[in-house]
Amino acid sequence: MQIEQQLPPRKVWFRTYGCQMNYHDSERMMHHLSNVNFSRTEEQSEADLLVFNTCAVRDLANQKFYSHVGETKKIRHQNTKQVKIAVSGCIAQTEGKELLKKYPQIDFTFGTDVIDNIAEMVFRSFAGDDRFSINTWDKSSDYSIETKVTHNNPQAFINIMKGCDKFCSYCIVPFTRGREKSRKLLEIKKDIERLVEHSGVQEVMLLGQNVNSFGKENNERFADLIMALEDIKGLELVRYTTSHPYDVTPEMISVHKDAKKLAPHLHLPVQSGSNTVLKRMLRQYSVEHYLSLLEQLKRANPHMVITSDIIAGFPNETEQEHQETLRLLEKARFDSIFSYAFSVRRGTKAARMQDILTDDIRGKRLREIQLLQLKIQEDHRKEMSGKIYKVLVDGTSDMKGIKKWKGRTPCNRLVHFTYPSHDLDLTWHWVDVKVISSTALSCQGELVFDYGKKAPNSDHNPR
């Protein structure tokens, strides 16, 4: 690219909000920027370019972004050097032009489908172009990319598809990420083979808003993709997120029995335990169907760990409907949940519903959901006591003044453990840890075996 020679060394600072997809997008942008002489900084004050990669899904992330971007007005005034401020992601996709009007310090905004053009946009802005907003959609029929990793660790996020066709009544994603488009199975396999061979990747997380509908336009199936990754030598663990219960097929359930590298964990958002609320949410499945999927998954792999999402206080949710959600939690006994109070997303069907619920009622229901779930989680964690789990160590934590290593089991449970010697750096080592005690949120354990940075060969489903 011509631009490479023309830009002097500069620093970029990122703030990313929301889901893993957004964090992956930031990494992708960083890769493109490093090609044009940018390096990353964690210090906002030394950056030449600030990028806010936004999320429109949760109200909290929205509010945080508006507050953070408001603060950049000061930076503009204090700084003598040329600093550019860019906003990307879901809010930029739907409100890019409004953001430029409201915040004069923003130089440019760009949506989710043009992140691969960031270098050109940065060049335009530093060259003195007027402030601009780009939120065009990629109109090509093919979705083809190469995964970019800028880190030096064995985990990589792999976008396998983008967009969503589901239009759940509360969700803004189909408006911010567009319609579903999948990459080709073979392209993804080659991409992962390259990362395993040349970047030391051992664990991949396959990403999409609804991965179960992967490949529809190409006559390919998600289950076949998972099985195709089985023969990549050096790839240890495959995770995926997110799934929609309507699209969980019998083949998908079977791969949880057959695929040796597939993590025994499934994040399967249910959102509500009430059939009438699910209908208003346009979720296309019933509570009974959802519970039967859980049963089939457990039959396919008894080690399966299921996590979920719950929305408290969907518009006009009755006390009875709320109680039905509590009953579902008792039946499903999720390993953990993301739960949040409903908040309106402009432009969605739910935003047009007349709603009689107050914030107080939503808050109370959310607390009841979380309290019950914490008790369930405590029971699950207690059952882990005395068992040995394989863990990929991703760092340390300070627990009441004691340094502990931490990592996740293949079934996605957080484990902290001690190791007598402080000299050895265990980051990105595969270890066996015996769980000794637990709380609702994590487990404490001790090191049993250190395999080093090379994963142990598994001839069985990893725990």
Q: What are phi and psi of 262, to 5 degrees?
A: -80, 130
Closest CA to 28 of 92, 100, 88, 91: 88
> 103: which DSSP letter?
-
Closest CA to 308 of 295, 282, 322, 290: 290
For 307-342, b/e burial (b = at least 16 CB within 10 A) is bbbbbbbbbebeeebbebbbebbeebebbbbebbbb
Nearer to ligand SF4, 168 or 431 (CB): 168
Closest CA to 428 of 23, 151, 30: 151
Distance of closest approach, residue 206 Cβ to ligand SF4, in angstroms:
16
Count residues binding ligand SF4 (CB under 6 A): 10
Using DSSP's 3-state secondary structure scheme, residue 226 falls into helix
Distance of closest approach, residue 120 Cβ to ligand SF4, in angstroms:
29
Distance of closest approach, residue 55 Cβ to ligand SF4, in angstroms:
12
Per-residue binding letters, 205-244, with ligand SF4 (x by CB under 6 A) = ----xx---------------------------------x
* Radius of gyration from C-alpha coordinates of the chain: 23
Residue pair 210/240 in contact by the 8 Å Cβ criterion: no
Displacement of CA 366 from its chain's centroid (Å)? 22
> Looking only at residues 143 through 182 of this chain, which bind ligand SF4 when binding is defined by CB under 6 A?
164, 166-168, 171, 173-174
Nearer to ligand SF4, 54 or 125 (CB): 54
Alpha carbon distance 284, 321 (integer Å): 17
For 214-235, b/e burial (b = at least 16 CB within 10 A) is bbbeeebbbbebbbbbeebeeb
Alpha carbon distance 203, 255 (integer Å): 17
Give the C-alpha distances (Å, rounded to integers) separating 335 from 192, 372, 375, 392, 413: 29, 12, 11, 19, 9
Is 89 a binding residue for ligand SF4 by CB under 6 A? The answer is: no
Distance of closest approach, residue 281 Cβ to ligand SF4, in angstroms:
8
Distance of closest approach, residue 392 Cβ to ligand SF4, in angstroms:
28
Is 55 a binding residue for ligand SF4 by CB under 6 A? The answer is: no
Nearer to ligand SF4, 181 or 244 (CB): 244
Distance of closest approach, residue 209 Cβ to ligand SF4, in angstroms:
4
Distance of closest approach, residue 170 Cβ to ligand SF4, in angstroms:
7
Nearer to ligand SF4, 18 or 174 (CB): 174
Nearer to ligand SF4, 353 or 374 (CB): 353
Distance of closest approach, residue 164 Cβ to ligand SF4, in angstroms:
3
Per-residue binding letters, 90-109, with ligand SF4 (x by CB under 6 A) = --------------------
Distance of closest approach, residue 163 Cβ to ligand SF4, in angstroms:
9
DSSP for 432-444, please give it.
Answer: EEEEEEE-SS-EE
Nearer to ligand SF4, 16 or 213 (CB): 213
Nearer to ligand SF4, 30 or 337 (CB): 337
Amino acid identity of residue 236, one-letter, is E
Residue pair 169/282 in contact by the 8 Å Cβ criterion: yes
Distance of closest approach, residue 41 Cβ to ligand SF4, in angstroms:
33
Nearer to ligand SF4, 20 or 79 (CB): 20
Nearer to ligand SF4, 109 or 210 (CB): 210
Nearer to ligand SF4, 96 or 174 (CB): 174
Per-residue binding letters, 381-420, with ligand SF4 (x by CB under 6 A) = ----------------------------------------
Distance of closest approach, residue 358 Cβ to ligand SF4, in angstroms:
24
Structure tokens at 169: 């009544």
Using DSSP's 3-state secondary structure scheme, residue 112 falls into helix
Amino acid identity of residue 116, one-letter, is D
Nearer to ligand SF4, 211 or 411 (CB): 211
> Where do contacts with ligand SF4 occur on this chain (CB under 6 A)?
164, 166-168, 171, 173-174, 209-210, 244
